[in-house]
Structure 1
């Protein structure tokens, strides 16, 4: 974007004692208030870019001296070849290369989608003024045009806007559109931000009408991710059912013979639902599902895999492990059900003294499979949201006493301790830390930190340092939204919410997710 400059006069280089000149005039000539003794050369640099920019924008507003007319969806936009070529590499090739017929034409018809055609005038005006208004509805058409005509500065502005307003896009039913377009055109920064929002707030997104706009391959790729946050696997299954019901209605309205397509869709997405992660009772409930009755052969097989896991049938499990992606079936996601997680809330956060901690104790099951029994592990979680202070102490060693000075860590730390890794001699688990926040008025999971760790008698503590930016969490009044950190929620924006998920990892589990992509 052309940068908006204020009018200023810069002193000559090498004279650091020059004062800032005043905008006074004598006989129409700007003059400085600097004494003549300090300005022997009389040189000054004048910045009148605002006025020049205004003159250029007038060319578009008044439609004067135009030498080309762009026609989009029946509307005419008089323009100037020089401005078009200077702003867009595509227009430069189109209008200056003799091999292109458009280079010889005074009227050029452009084919644009309806959404792009409706804002084409604003897009063209940007070439002259460096200004354009965008919101959650118009940013996509603007980005489409900026991509098509290779207007790099405008592309960056759109990308920056989208990265900041992901939550707003979700609330306004635009997130899936943003994700799928940026995936297709390689805008990795926005695609990653959209992907994270969907993965970490899957049920929230599933409650929006936009969820049903997922393309099957994109949804399937999401369902393969290990860091997908849901209440439990049954909740995920219900979200997928909702998507399939919408596809059924869509296909039925287009083609009476749609059942083959529908069966393909069911298999494409449901094969990534992890039925072994459902409880035996939940698996039994699926027998009554209309979807199970319609596609009985597929679902009975998947449910049988789940029951084999819970009953410890090793031969059947080994068969599944040999299949592509088989290990994912036995890998837990980030489940927020009480069986695997707990919520730690720090209320009245601004009044919490420095270096103070919040502690909770909770239990989680030590195994995913029912045949292993009801054994649990007990965990102690300490959260240090305002830094860690190690007091001075004395260490007694064989040479004598050594003084260890006090130390202060400017970090947001979360410490997880396995109180007792029994009944097994060690406990290999996945620990997920989910941090909620508010952006664009939407409370959601904003940050996820995940780590695989093996707790044992000699290693009972796992520390997460720099869980959040210390300064961003402990921002002073007057900074951020309403003077608060985006990671503080509640009516008064004074509550820090951290969800801790601890799920056991067996030798059957996969520790990595397949790459996320739209094939």
Structure 2
């Protein structure tokens, strides 16, 4: 401090604040040693209230932030306290230095939240709404407030299924790509893939970027009614966004035409303006699709490479590929379900069905943990061990002796959660292949005993089991 400069009493108190907090913490630790009558007197909420009053009234402020936005003459002035800003942000430390005032240029969506952002420095908490997540995350990133940045990221990852009028997951994905946040990016991408039918019918669909569209279309874990539904949504997206020809070619060639029945293929060839205008991009794929439907997959595999994405079904919700299963009071007892699926997506196999049996157990125990019913083991002990079990789901074919040469079956289980307005969204996806009957790690962290469990909707477990054939190449015919 310069000689002759008298520190304002409020500033002197703020300068001593870290020392006071450390001293109080040390005193508390020493006071709690060895005295059974020791108690904690906690007035931290009062301290936080006084700090907020400092911001609200501008008492003893030693720095001024002037917030401006482009294309506007309006200036927002906030009287602050340099100590509290620099404790959490080295950017503010560099900006303020020996200055008493600094002008900051912010976009309108950030400027309107700047006072809320500064309030966080005084109380360590902040209220968030969906439309505020990106601007607050941008402010936390710009001024390197790491705790707030992480908090907003966690909020975004846990509120993907929250209700919003215009949608928010697509914009969060694009923001995550721009900031290089790969964790948030992957969380958004999974949510969009697992709830694509809902996204395609929302206002968000037309805001999907070219890169995001291509990324989605390349995935086999898309959850939707049918491939025809996807084609119709892609056509709408192209008509609304008018992408360049190279993008149109990429998205059209990403549609899995063999997964569309022949009658519907004929229909879109005659009725789709997009396909009629650009059919030359996919003529070979359409021809391949009709070949696929005209012969057995086993015969087709002798001449064509069938172990590729074009012949892999996505997670279709239609009854041909699985069954919805709503289990009421899932913690009560074991349940079973039988359902049928089509042998394959080929029209050649459309009349052939496979029957599947599903068994759900809420408290299955491995053999090593199962109770031994004997006189030496009390019934209470046996009951306690049963409570140690975890949910189990087994899906097996009820038809033995069938020849499945050249094909295996992937079993996928979707677990739904509910958000506002009664809509059910997929939050958890489990997949196993034919060689395994039990779904690995199924609801391993779920507590089905609690009605408030995130896995339950009105005390019911909402599942959708999908069984899809995966073709494999065999010895080629000469």
TM-score tier after normalising by the smaller chain length: 0.7 to 0.9
Say whether residues 1:93 and 2:74 are aligned partners: no
Say whether residues 1:414 and 2:387 are aligned partners: no
Say whether residues 1:14 and 2:33 are aligned partners: yes
Distance 2:164 2:462 in 1: 21
In structure 1, the partner of 2:264 is: 282
**1:40-439 equivalent positions in 2, closer than 5 A:** 48-63=43-58, 64-73=60-69, 74-75=74-75, 76-96=77-97, 106-168=100-162, 172-248=166-242, 261-287=243-269, 288-312=271-295, 327-347=308-328, 349=329, 353=332, 356-371=333-348, 374-387=351-364, 408=386, 410-424=389-403, 428-439=408-419
Q: Give 1:9 deviation, angstroms.
A: 6.1
SS across alignment from 2:131: coil
Change (3 A) 1:65 1:13: closer
Structure 2's unaligned 5+ residue stretches are 1-17, 19-24, 374-381
In structure 2, the partner of 1:497 is: 462
User: Is the Cα–Cα contact under 8 Å of residues 390 and 444 in structure 2 kept in the other structure?
Assistant: yes
User: Is the Cα–Cα contact under 8 Å of residues 432 and 440 in structure 2 kept in the other structure?
Assistant: no
User: Is the Cα–Cα contact under 8 Å of residues 308 and 317 in structure 1 kept in the other structure?
Assistant: no
Could you report, residue by residue, the CA deviation over 1:365-398 in whole angstroms, capped at 9, with x for unpaired residues? 223333456333221111113445988899xxxx
Change (3 A) 1:171 1:474: farther
User: Is the Cα–Cα contact under 8 Å of residues 429 and 505 in structure 1 kept in the other structure?
Assistant: yes
User: Is the Cα–Cα contact under 8 Å of residues 294 and 347 in structure 2 kept in the other structure?
Assistant: yes
Distance 1:508 1:232 in 2: 25
Change (3 A) 1:486 1:131: closer
Distance 2:399 2:255 in 1: 32
Could you report, residue by residue, the CA deviation over 1:338-386 in whole angstroms, capped at 9, with x for unpaired residues? 1111122223x16x63xx3221222222233334563332211111134
Could you report, residue by residue, the CA deviation over 1:224-274 in whole angstroms, capped at 9, with x for unpaired residues? 1111111111111122222222213xxxxxxxxxxxx44333223222221
Could you report, residue by residue, the CA deviation over 1:306-329 in whole angstroms, capped at 9, with x for unpaired residues? 22332359999899859xxx9211
Distance 1:320 1:215 in 2: 33
Distance 2:32 2:161 in 1: 47
- What is the number of residues matched between the two proteins? 430
Distance 2:419 2:183 in 1: 18
Q: Give 1:304 deviation, angstroms.
A: 2.0
Say whether residues 1:464 and 2:447 are aligned partners: no
Richer in strand (by share)? 1
Could you report, residue by residue, the CA deviation over 1:13-54 in whole angstroms, capped at 9, with x for unpaired residues? 431522437x7xxxxxxxxxxxxxxxxxxxxxxx55444434
User: Is the Cα–Cα contact under 8 Å of residues 430 and 440 in structure 2 kept in the other structure?
Assistant: no
User: Is the Cα–Cα contact under 8 Å of residues 411 and 465 in structure 1 kept in the other structure?
Assistant: no
Change (3 A) 1:108 1:316: farther
**1:476-487 equivalent positions in 2, closer than 5 A:** 483-487=451-455
Distance 1:217 1:299 in 2: 20
User: Is the Cα–Cα contact under 8 Å of residues 292 and 300 in structure 1 kept in the other structure?
Assistant: no
Say whether residues 1:448 and 2:429 are aligned partners: yes
Distance 2:127 2:83 in 1: 24
Change (3 A) 1:436 1:54: closer
Structure 1's unaligned 5+ residue stretches are 24-46, 97-102, 249-260, 395-404, 455-460, 476-482, 510-519
* RMSD of aligned alpha carbons: 3.5
Q: Give 1:425 deviation, angstroms.
A: 5.2
Distance 1:470 1:130 in 2: 31
User: Is the Cα–Cα contact under 8 Å of residues 339 and 357 in structure 2 kept in the other structure?
Assistant: yes
Distance 2:55 2:438 in 1: 60
